[in-house]
Amino acid sequence: MRLLPGYLHEIWLHHGDNEEELHSCIPFGPAGDGARKLDPPGSSCLFVFWADTHIDAMNIYYDFLGRGSYTSEEPWDSERYPVAWYVEQEAYALALTKHSSGPPTAAAEFKR
CA nearest to 106, candidates 39, 58, 49: 39
- Cβ atoms within 10 A of the Cβ of 31, count? 18
- pLDDT at site 5: 79
Cβ atoms of 46 and 17 closer than 8 Å: no
CA distance 107 to 112: 11
Residue by residue, pLDDT tens for the chain (112 residues) are: 556 678 999 999 998 888 889 999 999 999 999 999 998 888 999 999 999 999 999 999 999 999 999 999 999 999 999 999 999 999 998 888 886 555 444 444 445 4
- pLDDT at site 87: 92
Intra-chain end-to-end CA distance of the chain, in Å: 34
- pLDDT at site 18: 84
The 3-class secondary structure across 56-112, one letter per residue, is HHHHHHHHHHCCCCCCCCCHHHHCECCHHHHHHHHHHHHHHHCCCCCCCCHHHCCEC
- pLDDT at site 104: 47
pTM of the model: 0.81
- pLDDT at site 50: 96
